[in-house]
């Protein structure tokens, strides 16, 4: 049974991260290695099941070579 996102914003953030990862042809495992996080954690983020701390958002943005503002621009609480 799928678990719903913790919030609409978390779901949208996860979709944005997944879209960037897919555009770059990266698996969750490869991106997780780049970001120094566990791949299951990354999967939870992409599904919106986790709220990200700033530090982890910056790690993921760095791993994707994307400005972190691209992930949060326009999100509402």
Residue 24: give its domain's CATH number. Answer: 1.10.260.40
Q: How confident is the model at residue 36 (pLDDT cuts 50, 70, 90)?
A: very high
* Closest to 29 (Cα-Cα) out of 71, 3, 63: 63
Count the Cβ atoms, other than its own, within 10 Å of residue 19.
11
For residue 46, tell me if it sits in a domain.
yes
Residue 37, domain extent: 8-64
Span 23-36, average pLDDT: 97
pTM of the model: 0.92
Look at residue 73 and tell me if it is in a domain.
Answer: no
* 32 vs 3: which has the higher pLDDT: 32
Domain contains 72? no
Q: Assign 1 a pLDDT band (cuts: 50, 70, 90).
A: low
Other Cβ atoms within 10 Å of 34 Cβ, number: 15
CA distances from 9 to 5, 50, 54 (A): 9, 11, 15
| pLDDT greater at residue 3 or residue 36 | 36
Here the tokens at position 67 are 């400005």
Domain for residue 39, yes or no?
Answer: yes
Residue 17 within any structural domain of the chain: yes
Residue showing tokens 């990266």: 26
How many domains does one find in the chain? 1
């Amino acid at each position: 049974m799928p678990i719903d996102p913790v919030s609409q914003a978390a779901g949208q953030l996860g979709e944005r991260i997944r879209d960037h990862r897919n555009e770059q042809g990266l698996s969750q495992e490869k991106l997780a290695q780049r970001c120094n996080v566990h791949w299951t954690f990354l999967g939870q983020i992409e599904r919106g099941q986790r709220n990200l701390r700033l530090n982890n958002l910056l790690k993921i943005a760095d791993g994707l070579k994307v400005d972190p503002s691209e992930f949060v621009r326009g999100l509402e609480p």
